[in-house]
Amino acid sequence: MTSKVYYKGNLRTNCIHLKSGSEIITDAPVDNSGKGEAFSPTDMVATALASCMITVMGIKADQLGISFTDVSANVEKIMSTNPRRISKISIAIDLPIKLSEKDKLILEKVGSTCPVHNSLDPKLIREIKYNWI
């Protein structure tokens, strides 16, 4: 098993990663009867995409001997109705790293083919920007 999720009431869950004991609290968003005091489950999906992209890029950077520090991402999730679902995820990854065009392309390709990216519905719009600063 990977995790255990406990319903805590008031549209909140406590998610525990079984191997590490790490915990994440989720809350229903304000626009869906919740308090919005923590990540919503759909926030976690959008955030997981950015986290996965940066992680696999970091793995590849290590393999290439590239220092991969101070990288960050801004994530925006857009919801639609009928059915209520994530319709678009926009991610802007800031990469304050000086690299050759070849290495940039390698890292971008790795990021855009991460496991979370490959697991999402192909109809989900993904707008990804790589900002090489």
User: What's the pLDDT at 10?
Assistant: 97
Burial class from Cβ neighbours inside 10 Å (0-12, 13-18, 19+) for residue 49 reads buried
User: What's the pLDDT at 111?
Assistant: 98
Which residues contact residue 102 at a Cβ distance below 8 angstroms, ignoring those fewer than 6 apart?
A: none
pTM of the model: 0.95
User: What's the pLDDT at 37?
Assistant: 96
User: What's the pLDDT at 60?
Assistant: 98
For 41-132, give the CATH class.
alpha beta
Domain residue ranges of the chain, discontinuous segments joined by +: 3-32, 41-132
Mean per-residue pLDDT over the chain, rounded: 97
* Separation of alpha carbons 98 and 104, rounded Å: 9
Which residues contact residue 26 at a Cβ distance below 8 angstroms, ignoring those fewer than 6 apart?
A: 12, 13, 15, 38, 39, 40, 41, 43, 44
Place of tokens 């639609």: 80
Tens of pLDDT, residue by residue over 37-93, are 999 999 999 999 999 999 999 999 999 999 999 999 999 999 999 999 999 999 999
